[in-house]
């Protein structure tokens, strides 16, 4: 589905260009207007996918804003977002990529170590969360219990 929202672009105190949406909390930034605009599109897509994945109500887009800052300008951002746009693998594929069992993937989902969603009867794990887990390179086995100090 195509979503269209407005962002305000303005120069931050540190010289970065800030992109703040009118209809969501949060913001992103870039070194220049082009980068801030691209970051705004990426940020919006990820936010919308998060809402869809978790069955949350997506904020209604309000258009026609005026800049709230003297140096601000309004940027219109349009993105395609939905369950079909989320890079994902099946739970079995995630298990293979991570070198763990399918049951361990289920445990990791419940512990919020991986992020996933259901589409019909099928379970999917986001590639974002699988890739993040691979970057962490957790050690195999159970964590050691910490020694109690007196």
Tell me the per-residue pLDDT of 27-72, one tens digit each, with 9 for 90 and over: 999 999 999 999 999 999 999 999 999 999 999 999 999 999 999 9
For residue 147, what pLDDT is reported?
Answer: 59
Angstrom distances, CA of residue 9 to CA of 3, 5, 18, 59: 19, 13, 5, 20
pLDDT per position as a tens digit, 72-107: 999 999 999 999 999 999 999 999 999 999 999 999
Tell me if the domain spanning 2-83 has CATH number 3.30.160.250: yes
Which comes out higher in pLDDT, residue 147 or 127? 127
pTM, rounded to two decimals = 0.80
C-beta separation of 73 from 17 below 8 A? no
Element (H, E) at 22: none
**Does 113 score more than 70 pLDDT?**
yes
Element (H, E) at 40: helix 33-53
Per the structure block, which two tokens stand in for 58? 């997506």
pLDDT range class, residue 132, cuts 50, 70, 90: very high
Q: How many Cα neighbours within 13 Å face the side chain of 141?
A: 4
For residue 53, what pLDDT is reported?
Answer: 92
């Amino acid at each position: 589905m195509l979503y269209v929202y407005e962002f305000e672009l303005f120069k931050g105190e540190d010289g970065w260009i800030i992109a703040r949406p009118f209809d969501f909390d949060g913001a992103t930034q870039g070194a220049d207007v082009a980068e801030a605009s691209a970051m705004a599109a990426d940020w919006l897509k990820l936010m919308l996918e998060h809402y869809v994945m978790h069955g949350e109500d997506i904020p209604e887009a309000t258009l026609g804003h005026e800049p709230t800052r003297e140096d601000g300008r309004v940027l219109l951002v349009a993105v395609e977002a939905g369950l079909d746009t989320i890079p994902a693998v099946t739970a079995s594929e995630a298990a293979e990529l991570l070198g763990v069992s399918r049951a361990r993937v289920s445990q990791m989902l419940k512990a919020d170590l991986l992020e996933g969603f259901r589409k019909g009867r099928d379970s999917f794990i986001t590639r974002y969360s699988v890739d993040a887990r691979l970057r962490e390179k957790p050690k195999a086995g159970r964590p050691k219990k910490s020694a109690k100090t007196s």
